[in-house]
A and B are shown apart, each in its own frame.
Chain A
Amino acid sequence: MLQNKFIFNQSSVSLEIIGLPDYSINENSDYISIISQWKLMIIDKPLIEGNLNHLESIMKAFYCYSSSLLNDEIGSYESTLIDIKPVNYFTHNIFLKSSKPDVKPLNFKIGNSVLADIINCFDQLGSSSKVKNIYSNEFKKLKKKKYLLLFNKNNILNMLFPPIASLFSLFIVSTAFIYIYDDNDKRSFLINKNKLISIESINRLL
């Protein structure tokens, strides 16, 4: 069966995706939803290739690392497959660990320009209508700063619920007490008591 192949280029980086459409759900013959192989080619650097799981891990690593760089966090990412650490603010160290036992890990350095090219290749893949979307929403899921989390609808509800619930319960309890110690009731009780006493005294007199 003939496989489809799409290439996403950005300056010094090229990402090749090879795979098949899912014929069981009548997908177009020029679409890839089952990625069987991929290759990441960087000029002057070794070829990186693997299966879908590897691609997901590598995309996640690069997206997390770049977003941490942009957000002034400690730019370092470690996983079972790939480690990315900054050497300085314009060089990044990539350490790739092969899933095959006999293959030695691969270590190389890239600059900011290559990092930007890699991210842009992944972005092209994410926004492509020809390949099934695998990891394009990573940037939308960025952690926001704590003060921004305060504006989250759920957080506002969580914050407001306990004081509102306590105020409501206080109100209910206090209204019950108000009812018990109602002045009018007290007065009517006293009046009735006085009437009884007066009736008793009249009876005695009689």
Chain B
Amino acid sequence: MALETIDLNCAESLYSLSDQLNLNEILPNKVTIWKLRNNNPMRNSFNNNNIKLEEFEALIKLTVEMAKFLYPFIRQILQSRDDVIKNPKAWNEFKKRYIELISERFNTNSMKVKRLLDPSLNDEIFIKIILTLALCISEDGYLKLRTTLINF
């Protein structure tokens, strides 16, 4: 969702990327990607579909590839947060849109989601999400993100 906050057309981009990465067998269409994304228990449309290992890995590959494309924007957001007094625009816009998407798509009754929406706590969480994406754009990025998610 962080990538979707940066790229408004993320769903479409993810599907075209899955084509480029030859992930058609695992992710044949947009609906499959959407179903896999709905495995997140914080979503309103949560469905426990028992995600398979190859589907999990395909999603990580897509995320890393998207992060590579969006690195200039990701960096801009991080830089804006580093110097939020002089240059707050990119960070504030990102945070505002991210919160909008969370309130729209996540179950706001859940304590985890409430924590994400709490302005005194969410800065740290959002920074960590963006920093994780920024650190995973290398050729080994897939392994880094996978290890980070497994350790989470």
Give the B-binding residues of A (Cβ under 8 A).
Answer: 11, 66, 69-71, 89-91, 111-117, 119-120, 123-124, 126-127, 136, 139-140, 142, 144-145, 148
Contact = CB atoms under 8 A, between A and B. Distances in A.
Contact of B138 (A91, A120, A145, A148): A120
Contacts, number: 81
Given A90-B127, A123-B140, A140-B140, A116 B135 contact: yes
Nearest to A117: B75
A111 B87 CA distance: 13
Main SS at interface, chain A = helix
B151 interface: yes
Interface residues of B, number: 28
A126 B81 contact: no
A116 B140 contact: no
22 contacts: A11-B75, A70-B131, A71-B148, A89-B128, A90-B81, A112-B81, A112-B82, A113-B75, A113-B79, A116-B75, A117-B75, A120-B135, A120-B137, A123-B137, A123-B138, A124-B138, A126-B140, A139-B140, A140-B147, A142-B147, A142-B151, A144-B150
A15 to B, nearest CB: 13
Nearest to B83: A111
